[in-house]
Structure 1
Amino acid sequence: MRKLYTFLSTSIFLLVFSFSSFSQDVHYQKTDNGIIVQPSINGVNIGKQIKIEVISDKIIHTVVTPENKFSLEPSLMVIPVKSKPTWSVSEIANFIQLKTQSLLVKINIASGQIQYQDLNGKSILEEKVQTTRLFKPVSNDGESSYEIEQIFNSPKDEAIYGLGQHQDDMMNYKGKQVLLLQNNTDVAIPFLLSNKNYGILWDNYSITKVGDVRNYQPLSSLRLFSKEGDQGWLTATYADKKTGKETIKRAESDIDYSFLSDMKKFSDSFKMADGIVKWEGKISSGYTGLQHFNVKYAGYIKIWINGELLVDKWRQAWNPGSAVVETEMQKDKKYDVKIEWIPDGTESYLAIKCLTPIPEEDQNQYAFLSESGNEINYYFILGGNADEVISGYRTLTGKAVLMPKWAMGFWQSRERYKTQEELLGVVKEFRDRKIPIDNIVLDWQYWKPDRWGTHEFDKSRFPDPEGMIKTLHDTYHTRLMISVWPKFYTGNSNYDLMNKNGFLYKRNIVDGRKDWLGYQSTFYDAFNPEAREMFWSLMNKTLYKKGIDAWWMDATEPDIHSNLPIWERKQNMTPTYLGSATKYFNAFPLQNSKGVYEGQRKENPDDRVFILTRSAYGGLQRYAAATWSGDIASRWEDMKSQISAGINFSLSGLPYWTMDIGGFSVERRYENPNPADLAEWRELNTRWYQFGAFVPLFRGHGQFPLREVYNIAPTDHPAYKSILYYNKLRYRLMPYIYSLAGQTYQKDYTIMRGLVMDFGADEKLKNIADQYMFGPSLLINPVYKYGATNRKVYLPEGNGWYDLYTGGYVKGGQTITAKAPYSQMPIYVKEGAIIPYGPEIQYTSEKPNDPITLYLYTGKDGTFTLYEDEGTNYNYEKGAFSTIDFEYSESVKTLTISNRKGAFKGMLENRTFNVIRITAKKAKALNFNQAPDKTVSYAGKKIVIKF
């Protein structure tokens, strides 16, 4: 097997890192950037050697090996950091103490336990004593490594965030299990953020469990009773869903139909497409406490325990959903259970597994447990707040390169535009109706049916791709994003070329599997640098040279074949260029985006790369890649789960996230709806667009029904009016939004902000999963219940809040019932906010941001920095950008507009600022036609405005 890296010879390695010179009085060895320690207790829970590296005053790299040497494998996720921090080391009692200017790291000489403390000796994080670590030798594809576990203590009041994007409608993961496993709708990012203002970056690519890492157990781990009271099983009844006639009645102790291979467990007499299944009886647990149930489902699923409906969900069969629910149970007490499942189609999935309550001795801890690694390898990152911790993450994994300005506008997409005429017709309709838009997306199958992987347009449907793109650019001022998969059908020249060079995974071909269109296919090995170069060259030749603006990199988990067990998914990736699929499983999307980003920047160093990918990994932000939340369902509960999914993704250090507004997979009742279903469909999309206008990237997409606003509702319908209102409001906010985007690069900012980021001292908000800040000023509160005309909103303490629409003032530190009429989502503005609005525009580059209307919300001092640059190139990396600072002083009632800093080609030298001042006693509505309180002409020099 070829390797990207090489190893130093053992003799040289031992010369550099030998510990034979340890004296009896000194228990560590200094290196250029840290120390190496050999714990005196040398067991499987300790590791033979511990390496502590000082990356910065606030970042420590910890590596623990069970062997006599450390691995020299380069990280795929972490980049070299240039810094020379000051640090010292000493031995005090039973500890080796390493000190930087910001923290202390203490290593117990005997046990190897590590503690991270502030300079006063107060604990920030510490590994658990006695059961600190575990190394279990494993072999994967003949490759030796270890299953590894690291346990940390966690105080009762700690909250845990980040860890990628998951669909379980959870915000705080304390006491929960998070599975880091790339899957459609689930994104694995091994970065944990604590409300104690530290983070852990776990440098491992294998499937990893975080938090409560115990294995979920089958349903039979509980005591089961049938409907008739017999112990040992539930009563399963299979019936025809139309007639209600029972076809099968049997005892079942486990419900586990997780994958394609499990379909054989069903009786041949059960016609799944026409069936309904019920499981009934009682359950009891041998433990008192919070019982967790993990539900994987496709079709309609309802679960009641003791009469309480815990699960009521739906998902299309080809992409099962998941849910984690919990309920309190008393030891040995029987609880009624009823499960009702209506499968979706001829193949459908359902599995229910459970976890007993966390043992008392393990409740104040969390762990990382990875399937494969050479050693325990993680980074401890300290910060004064969450922003500083995320900045530390980006110090390690790379800057979030700035997306093109047009990407901040609206994107229209659907599954799918089938012809050139259809696609151009949609953009023309947007322009004719004056609906702002910047990007149209061409989804899959623009190629001939049997030509997947050629990246060639089907000439019968797209006769002139170059002309189509030119019309989009020149006539409609619209960009084109196109779908590209890492997938190749057999029998075409691109497959043959990649195959000849050994760049393809072959198992799916050898096994003869066909995709859902009936063709044999496989993916390329993105871990191979030569394969990445060739993959880009194929894209470049047939797509980029035609003028394509952006890339939709789909199925990057990689989803070589859907709904296979994990062991078969790994088998389909074997071998990778770097090593076993088990060891490198989660890193595929990082390497795939790396090839496209580096390829385009080499081909054209001027235009900003923009990638949208269905999966992600730590470091993806440095490759100009955004992530969307996958093929979610068009249901209210799925809309709600996107809120916490997007927040936690952003808290994972990656700033650009989006979703399919309206959901991707659609219930059949919406395809040919009756009046009641049509009304619900319109309201669902209205509420989802209101939410979608305030995430980092604003994008509509999904299966039939057609997703354009004019196909959702007619012009005079409140749904159409509301969607258009929020679209235009998004464009008015472009000075604010693009400034936030600029700060993601310049200052490692985060656009979609969990409340813990700005109000970490407020204990009431650490579990809030359905509110967030959009930038520093806007509190976003999506409405996710059908027919709702109000919702509960918590206003963080320490601030007053203004209603965005009316300007009315409300005190913070309280939960209010906010009005939420059909046409409006509650939004509140933080006291002290300065929000710049631009003119009404149809696309981001239509006209300069002039005049700018500054809405000033008084009551506290406030600041905002307006960031501007050329919008589409990389000159900002060379300093070609400008900033204007706005600073409001409440005590002297002045707004100071600073001297402009910096410059760039095409910069607006002279401009106008209209200021609208809002006070707690004098509300003013959001109305861009009202007379401003002050108007000033600005030529780049400081201005002080007195009120």
Structure 2
Amino acid sequence: MIKRTFPIALLTCIASWCYAGQIEKLADGVLIRLDKPAKNGASQVRLQVISDNIVHVTASPDKEISSTPSIMAVNAAGNHVPWDYKDQADFYTLTTKSLRVDVNKNTGRVTFRHPDGKIILAEEASGGRQFQPENINGKDLYQIQQIFEVNPDAGLYGLGQHQAGLMDYRNEDVDLTQYNSVAVVPFLVSTDKFGILWDNYSVTKFGDPRERQQLNALHLVAADGKPGALSATYTDKKTGQVYLQQKDSVINYEFLEDLHRLPAKFPLEKGKATWEGSLQGDETGDYKFFIQASGYLKIWINGKLQLDKWRESWNPGPSQFKVALKKGVAVPVKIEWIPETTQSFLSVKTLSPTPAAYRNKAVFTSEAGERLDYYFVNGRTMDEVIGGYRHITGKATMMPQWAMGFWQSRERYKTQDEIEKTVATFREKKIPLDNIVLDWSYWKQDEWGSQEFDPARFSDPAGMIDRLHNKYHAQFMISVWPKFYEGISTYKAFDKNNWLYKQNILNRQRDWIGEGYVSTFYDAFNPDARKLFWSFMNEKLFSKGVDAWWLDATEPDILSNASIDSRKKLMDPTAIGPATQYFNTYSVLNARGVYEGQRAAKPDQRVFILTRNAYAGIQRYAAASWSGDIAATFEELARQIPAGLNYTMSGLPYWTTDIGGFFVEDKYDHPDPKGAAKDEWQELNTRWFQYGAFCPLFRSHGQYPYREMFNIAPENSEAYQSMLYYDKLRYRLLPYIYTLSGDTYHHDYTIMRGLPMDFGYDTATLRIADQFMFGPSLLVNPVTTYKSRKRDLYLPKGNGWYDFYTGKYEDGGRRITAAAPLSKIPLYVREGSIIPVGPELQYVAEKKPDTINVFVYAGKDASFALYEDGNTNYDYEKGAYTRIPMEWNEAKKELTIGAREGSFPGMLTTRYFNIIIVDKSHPRSPDQIEGNKSELITYNGIAKTIRAF
């Protein structure tokens, strides 16, 4: 019996080995070769242990997995943490202290588990990966797809900055393509406390990977009952004169190349187009509609207004929504478009209900890559997951402390005198300010890219900057584009080394300045080109005292509104490969050159970069982003909130918007001084300013009308006084805000936080897109509707909440209607918080905060560790900083201010803390320090305990 069993067992083992592949142990993980890979699937899968919580997964159908270095990842190699693997019956299992990863021997499917075996995330049952071979510019690449099975009840966030108004990406589709106002960061984070970092640089789709269809993918019926199209009427928007009527089955004027399809008799700048009829689908379910539009657009489907939006004509923006349809049941549709100028854009596309294969999944589909490549990040909290992203891609550097103050910008200050007078007015009117920004076109009209000031308008830029620094105590930021006009000296320096994208030159494409100039961008993928770019910035700008850089158009936006295929051709090839492969990541390399250049030129001055576009890893280059050239509307203000939250939840902590919106409707350009448009303009700016005060960076910018608060509203107005209040409040909260900034570097914290980050256990928070936490303590509730004087909001459960302005206590776990006069937005403090409030300041460095009011919001234990460092240097990287721990013990009613930890040159050795306790019986406000019962203590670094009084 024994003799008979032995050979059978041996044969079984051999068969299993031959069928299920082989495993090779590597220094940092394992390589698994599959003997029978699926069609278009992987032949090998590699797991590399990055940390106890991070595993790097790569897969390929090739004999060898590509070794091309990652652009986003700086820590792609293992850190030699302990790990092990086992060869089990059906799986290879890799384990770390915190993770168990199973790989199915037959399919290569990867499943991530907790040590107890509970599934965290799994690839789709068959493995879920697809490789479609393609050859681009002679390089063999693959179209790549990976499907993950996710918990349908968990929220999904991140993916960068997108402006369709979505917060939670469960069963939603996100186009990961860089545009003006869209910033792609392919990092997905879940309330199940894991993240997926998709290491691919090409145009990518998240969600349903099917190509979006033209409107005629639905059954269309015209207003007269004839099938196949909608009734289209093209009229004059003022007189109603009909230019023509026809039947349209497609509405697709998305890019410059598409505008020729518009009716020749329809003058865009004068016209209005209306499409009417009905539509129906072939199945029952949620049909998706994807809109790209500029001008005024309204869409009604089945009697409901689905979209009502205005966007400046030259910069169309995305929208998307779902409509439930029943198979075979037609519903009425009406689309009304007022395009405004000769270059206005509109496309209306659709998709039928998401197929079952993609529902309740996380699907990444990329156009081009050498391998399938992603990082799985686990954590106990969403902060730990985001910390894992930064472990892979690099720390978010400390910004200079002045960057936490208020910035004033305008499109644009045209002369040196305008800049200095503006800053002087801020100082005269006692409006806090730290940074003045000079936007584009400070050069001679025909010398874009020269990096030189036009001497006719800026006669002494070095002297101007010196006066800004020493007379007005303001910093100076300047706009620098990667764009160069043909024939100027800087163009020639790049051109002689073949470091320019030349297709736009060959096309003789002219821009919009004067009669137009031919231009192109430099190739930031070339390290020597980056060095040359910085050398011009250093020689012509940094040497004059420039403090910070505004890197504009870094998508790169060589030609606005060109199709994606055209945009690829305009930057093809890059120094490291086809533009199709590297399309999304130009901004990272551009920022890298500036960061490395300045750190080499002046190692003791913190770099600060504001870039219009971003990608994974850019935070390590001292780069923040803003939300691009958005429209000045309340609707656009509302969209900024989820856009910014998803951006910061992608791991990039510093973000801002153009307070007031960049481009304005005609009604705001020259409003009647007594008209409704003036009132609406003032209210829009006031509400946006209130929101902006609680963004990581606080910055006003936009086109005419001028954006300084004294140019928006009279000093005695409620609007002006509100903006001034929130500006001053921002500075008073500086000890709190700068501590959050310190935590962002040292502890991978996130300053502006979607509610699921702190209250993911409360399912009511998962899709809230108009509230957020500013640090651990402040619940911010912007007002985004004109004339609203109250707003509905949710107070998350598990906590009580104090009204910031009055100290009144509210129970959590419920919706309330809060007062929202024009002067204030609802603002609440989380029970169990400590908030340090500093003195009023005109600029960050005006005086040291030797006296700080410490507000303790009782009801629960609380803690806060006040952070301070050298503010503008890099000594913090060497450990030169301090923390003063503060602990509130609710049971004992005691506040302990612990012994100071650390030191740095110039720190305050003696200071004063004014302790103010807020509880249900003692409502108190940071706006009313005087008269609040408090205790002032002297602190010299030695621990002290104060009992409640």
TM-score by length of structure 1 reads 0.97
Give the match for residue 527 of structure 1.
525
Question: Secondary structure at the residue paired with 1:406?
Answer: helix
Question: Secondary structure at the residue paired with 2:690?
Answer: helix
Give the match for residue 223 of structure 1.
219
C-alpha spacing 1:351/1:545, structure 2 compared with 1 (3 Å): same
Q: What pairs up with 1:413-812 in 2 under 5 angstroms?
A: 413-517=409-513, 518-674=516-672, 675-812=675-812
1:877 aligns with 2:873: no
Give the match for residue 30 of structure 2.
35
Question: Secondary structure at the residue paired with 1:110?
Answer: coil
Inter-partner Cα distance in structure 2 for 1:218 and 1:23: 48
1:272 aligns with 2:268: yes
Give the match for residue 937 of structure 1.
938
Q: Is the 8 A contact 2:49 2:78 kept in 1?
A: no
1:798-834 superposed Cα distances (whole Å, 9 cap, x missing partner): 0000000010000000011111011000011000110
RMSD: 1.2
Matched to 2:96, the amino acid is T
Q: What pairs up with 1:176-195 in 2 under 5 angstroms?
A: 176-195=172-191
Q: Is the 8 A contact 2:109 2:127 kept in 1?
A: no
Deviation of residue 932 (structure 1)?
A: 4.1
Inter-partner Cα distance in structure 1 for 2:267 and 2:886: 67
Matched to 1:212, the amino acid is D
1:918-946 superposed Cα distances (whole Å, 9 cap, x missing partner): 11122112313334421111000000001
Q: Is the 8 A contact 2:20 2:105 kept in 1?
A: no
Question: Secondary structure at the residue paired with 1:807?
Answer: coil
Q: Is the 8 A contact 2:40 2:132 kept in 1?
A: no
Deviation of residue 247 (structure 1)?
A: 1.0
Question: Secondary structure at the residue paired with 1:291?
Answer: strand
Unmatched tracts of structure 2, length 5 or more: 1-16
Q: Is the 8 A contact 2:51 2:78 kept in 1?
A: no
Give the match for residue 68 of structure 2.
73
1:388 aligns with 2:389: no
Q: What pairs up with 1:208-247 in 2 under 5 angstroms?
A: 208-247=204-243
Deviation of residue 313 (structure 1)?
A: 0.5
Question: Secondary structure at the residue paired with 1:633?
Answer: coil
Question: Secondary structure at the residue paired with 1:367?
Answer: strand
Inter-partner Cα distance in structure 1 for 2:496 and 2:59: 41
Q: Is the 8 A contact 1:450 1:519 kept in 2?
A: yes
Query: Aligned to 1:62, which of 57, 60, 64?
Result: 57
Question: Secondary structure at the residue paired with 1:418?
Answer: coil
Inter-partner Cα distance in structure 1 for 2:78 and 2:599: 23
Question: Secondary structure at the residue paired with 1:272?
Answer: coil
Inter-partner Cα distance in structure 2 for 1:301 and 1:310: 10
Inter-partner Cα distance in structure 1 for 2:248 and 2:21: 63
1:526-569 superposed Cα distances (whole Å, 9 cap, x missing partner): 00000000000011000000000000000000000101000000
1:10-57 superposed Cα distances (whole Å, 9 cap, x missing partner): xxxxxxxxxxxx889983110101111112321234301111111111
Q: Is the 8 A contact 2:771 2:780 kept in 1?
A: yes
Inter-partner Cα distance in structure 1 for 2:849 and 2:255: 53
1:439-461 superposed Cα distances (whole Å, 9 cap, x missing partner): 00000000000000001000000
1:895 aligns with 2:895: yes
1:372 aligns with 2:368: yes
Question: Secondary structure at the residue paired with 2:269?
Answer: helix
Query: Aligned to 1:202, which of 182, 198, 202?
Result: 198
Inter-partner Cα distance in structure 2 for 1:699 and 1:738: 17
1:254-274 superposed Cα distances (whole Å, 9 cap, x missing partner): 100011111111222211111
Inter-partner Cα distance in structure 2 for 1:318 and 1:364: 37
Give the match for residue 155 of structure 1.
151
Give the match for residue 48 of structure 1.
43
Give the match for residue 358 of structure 1.
354
Inter-partner Cα distance in structure 1 for 2:937 and 2:45: 62
Inter-partner Cα distance in structure 2 for 1:461 and 1:328: 58
Q: Is the 8 A contact 1:182 1:615 kept in 2?
A: yes
Following TM superposition, the consecutive aligned residue runs of length 4 or more in structure 1 with deviations greater than 6 angstroms are 22-26
Deviation of residue 131 (structure 1)?
A: 5.9
Give the match for residue 249 of structure 2.
253
Question: Secondary structure at the residue paired with 1:370?
Answer: strand
Deviation of residue 368 (structure 1)?
A: 0.5
Q: Is the 8 A contact 2:432 2:843 kept in 1?
A: yes
Q: Is the 8 A contact 1:257 1:349 kept in 2?
A: yes
Inter-partner Cα distance in structure 1 for 2:537 and 2:181: 26
Question: Secondary structure at the residue paired with 1:273?
Answer: coil
Matched to 2:661, the amino acid is G
Inter-partner Cα distance in structure 2 for 1:568 and 1:26: 44
Inter-partner Cα distance in structure 1 for 2:633 and 2:451: 33
**Comparing 445-454 with 45-54, which one deviates more in the overlay?**
45-54
Inter-partner Cα distance in structure 2 for 1:822 and 1:487: 42
Inter-partner Cα distance in structure 1 for 2:177 and 2:356: 28
Give the match for residue 405 of structure 1.
401
Give the match for residue 7 of structure 1.
none
Question: Secondary structure at the residue paired with 1:176?
Answer: coil
1:347-395 superposed Cα distances (whole Å, 9 cap, x missing partner): 1100000111112343121210000001110000000010000000000
Q: Is the 8 A contact 1:446 1:457 kept in 2?
A: yes
Inter-partner Cα distance in structure 1 for 2:432 and 2:63: 62
Give the match for residue 14 of structure 1.
none
Matched to 1:748, the amino acid is D
Matched to 2:609, the amino acid is I
Give the match for residue 116 of structure 1.
112
Inter-partner Cα distance in structure 2 for 1:679 and 1:150: 51
Question: Secondary structure at the residue paired with 2:891?
Answer: coil
C-alpha spacing 1:24/1:216, structure 2 compared with 1 (3 Å): closer
Q: Is the 8 A contact 2:21 2:105 kept in 1?
A: no
Unmatched tracts of structure 1, length 5 or more: 1-21
Give the match for residue 843 of structure 2.
843
Matched to 1:316, the amino acid is E
Inter-partner Cα distance in structure 1 for 2:358 and 2:737: 43
Query: Aligned to 2:309, which of 313, 335, 340?
Result: 313
What is the aligned length? 927
Deviation of residue 596 (structure 1)?
A: 0.2
Inter-partner Cα distance in structure 1 for 2:298 and 2:84: 59
Inter-partner Cα distance in structure 1 for 2:20 and 2:354: 42
Inter-partner Cα distance in structure 2 for 1:585 and 1:921: 58
Matched to 1:729, the amino acid is L
**Comparing 102-111 with 80-89, which one deviates more in the overlay?**
80-89
Deviation of residue 139 (structure 1)?
A: 1.5
Give the match for residue 284 of structure 1.
280
Inter-partner Cα distance in structure 2 for 1:894 and 1:120: 40
Inter-partner Cα distance in structure 2 for 1:117 and 1:131: 16
Question: Secondary structure at the residue paired with 2:750?
Answer: coil
Question: Secondary structure at the residue paired with 1:360?
Answer: coil
